[in-house]
Chain A
Amino acid sequence: MVLRRIIKENWAGKSVLAIAVSGLLLCSVNAKAEKIALIVSKTSPVATTDAKTIKDLFLGKVGAIKGEKVKPIAQDQTRPITLLFNSTVLEKTEDQMRAYWSRMVFSGQQSPPPSLADDQAVKLHVAADPSAIGYVQSSTVDDSVKVIFELAP
């Protein structure tokens, strides 16, 4: 009650409240952009990697990590994690990704990685295939897979 009266009578108070609410909203938005984990099978010989190798792998420029052959698995292009992965790791917008893979496919060089529906589908696929590598939200990682790299967008 008291607070309501203060805000009603005091424009500065209204401004402070607006800023506080904006700050809370901003914090909540940032909290949603959680870490992305690059996962492989528990039996995969790959233990670690780096951001440059992941970028080259998912753009079809290389097919191995430290000599071990790997097959990248992506998620559906419309999923927020894919948009985040593409912009953060591959440094490309949705349109740039489309144009890039158009150039690669129609020049006979490469096809894009297969896409699965969600984190759960990626985990199941990766757990069953020692040569597969995929990306999921860190919070969904469990004992069925191994994390070889993690990045915070």
Chain B
Amino acid sequence: MMKKTFCCGLVAVSLTLPVCQLSQAEVMSPSNIKISGFGSVVGNVTNNSDADYLRTAKANNEPDFVRETFIGIQFNVPYSDEFEFITQFTGDYKDDTYSINAEWIVGKWRVNDKLTVRGGRFILPLLAQSDTVNVNYAHPWIRNPAEVYEMLPISNFNGVDLIATLPVGDAFVILQPFYGATELQSPYGFAGVVTTDIDSLKGLKIRYETDNHSFNIGAMKTAVSMRDPGVVTGLVGMNVLPSAVLISRALTNEPLDFYSAGWIGHFGNFEVYSEVSRRDLDNPAVSAIDGAYVTGLYNIGKFAPSLTLAKIKTERGKNQTQDTATLSLRQSLLPGASLKYELQYGKLDDSPNNRGLFALSNPATAKFPDDVLMFSVGLDVSF
């Protein structure tokens, strides 16, 4: 025990030595701290009153400008050319609660021109737009396509990653392995909060970038366990809760796999964004989900109309099979500010018990609609 403590202390001291060698003036001068931020005001409304549409939007037939509105702020504190400390927080109002979320708390070490090591709390860097999933200004859509981006329940994790940038001719290959763990707190009706532990999270993202194209593939493996809050067992035994809640008692170190592949292409004024993904939890009661989207966008001065076609398909468990078509228009207002308009049509598959991307707004209502029309408007800023 003492030997282990001594070794850990030695490692910790050696990592801090480069910082300690800097003079007081070099370490954290207020003038070196860079503050930047982003935010969105988003409104949504659907033509349906039976169920909420999309997990994060929770859109229904009452116009709402609060649920998807948020602000983010980031602090970059460079200690030297090699070391930097980054924190990023977002603030929002969801489920009648104001909350501040720590998205990034990261120490970054730029080892050399080709290698960077980071440790701390990250956004999971698995998908093409993962790193900036909260920065709507950087994307062509009001919200990233839910068919891919809402299928991964994890957004942040605590761990380490490594970014290796290798020049290959005129292109770059970027390798990004990552490792860590996290936990999710999810409300479950009146049973309280269910905690999901996600351990031994390991993954790899590989990007191939040229001047006009970016190809990426990502893979992640982890183990999922849901902690029974205790009251669930009693309520299940009394037949008060549906049997689906038994999932919480059945998940102990269940393997969860997630795979993705994507392409972003620029052809003059024309841009293409596309991704496919697969989420698979090794449990017969939980859906295996395949998702995909393709977006075509054309830049005309300050305007950028686009069309997105997306699909989601499940193999077992809850049926969420759905096709969507989204017509969007992005208008650049000022450098750092844009206005977006979106009209989305979603058509559910005819197969039985298909809920598509809906959640029941009223648990007593058992009927999901066959289709949905949603209108959204969003103002995005970056400063």
Cβ of B382 within 8 Å of any chain A Cβ, yes or no, is yes
Stretch touching chain A among B131-139, B186-194, B216-224, B251-259: B131-139
Q: Which chain A residue has the least Cβ–Cβ distance from B110?
A: A63
Instruction: Select which of B118, B137, B165 is within 8 A of A99 by beta carbon.
Output: B137
Contact call A102/B138, Cβ cutoff below 8 A:
yes
Closest beta carbon of chain B to A69's beta carbon, Å: 8
**Are B132 and A98 in touch, CB under 8 angstroms?**
no
Contact of A108 among B104, B113, B137, B138 (CB under 8 A): B104
Q: Is the CB of A111 within 8 A of B76?
A: yes
Q: Which residues of B contact A109 (CB under 8 A)?
A: 131, 163
Q: What are 10 A-B residue pairs whose CB atoms fall within 8 Å in the complex?
A: A61-B172, A64-B113, A95-B302, A102-B137, A103-B131, A105-B76, A106-B72, A106-B88, A108-B86, A108-B106
Tell me if A108 and B118 are in contact (CB < 8 A): yes
A-B contact count (CB 8 A): 63
Q: Which residues of B contact A117 (CB under 8 A)?
A: none
A52 to B104 alpha-carbon distance, docked (Å):
32
Judge whether B63 is part of the interface by a CB distance below 8 angstroms.
Answer: no
The docked-state distance in angstroms from the alpha carbon of A10 to that of B123 is 72
Residues of A within 8 A of B106 (CB): 108
Q: Mark A22-38, 1 if CB is under 8 A from B, else 0.
A: 00000000000000000
Q: A52-B170, A106-B135, A111-B34 known; A98 and B113 CB under 8 Å?
A: no
Per-residue contact bits, chain B 318-351, to A (CB 8 Å; 1 contact, 0 not): 0000000000000010011010000000000000
Q: Which residues of B contact A64 (CB under 8 A)?
A: 113
Contact in complex: A108, B108 (CB < 8 Å)? yes
Using CB atoms and an 8 Å cutoff, list the residues of chain B in contact with chain A. Answer: 34, 36, 38, 72, 74, 76, 86, 88, 104, 106, 108, 113, 118, 123, 125, 131-132, 134-135, 137-138, 163, 165, 167, 170, 172, 211, 299, 302, 332, 335-336, 338, 382
Closest A residue by C-beta to B135: A106
Task: Tell me the bound Cα distance from A93 to B36 in angstroms.
Answer: 21
Report chain A residues within 8 Å CB of B336: 98
Check: A77 CB closer than 8 A to any chain B CB: yes
* A94: contacting residue among B34, B137, B172, B335, CB under 8 A: B335
Least CB separation from B74: chain A residue: A106
Find out whether the CB atom of A102 lies under 8 angstroms from the CB atom of B76: no
* Contact partners of B131 in chain A: CB under 8 A: 103, 106-109
Do B382 and A98 have beta carbons less than 8 Å apart? yes
CB distance from B339 to the nearest CB of A (A): 12
User: In the assembly, what is the distance between CA of A93 and CA of B302, in Å?
Assistant: 10
How many angstroms from the CA of A63 to the CA of B134 in the assembled complex?
Answer: 28
For the complex, give the distance between the alpha carbons of A76 and B123 in Å: 31
Query: A102 and B135 in contact (CB under 8 A), knowing A64-B113, A108-B106, A108-B108?
Result: yes
Q: In the complex, which residues 93-139 of chain A have their Cβ closer than 8 Å to any Cβ of chain B?
A: 93-95, 98-99, 102-103, 105-109, 111
Contact between A102 and B335, CB atoms less than 8 A apart: no
Provide the residues of chain B in CB contact with A63, threshold 8 Å.
113
Given A95-B335, A98-B335, list of 16 further CB < 8 A pairs?
A62-B167, A94-B335, A98-B382, A99-B382, A102-B382, A103-B132, A105-B76, A106-B74, A106-B88, A106-B131, A106-B134, A106-B135, A106-B138, A107-B131, A108-B108, A111-B76
Give A107 to B135 CA distance when docked, in angstroms.
9
How far, in whole Å, are A105 and B76 apart by their CA atoms in the complex? 9
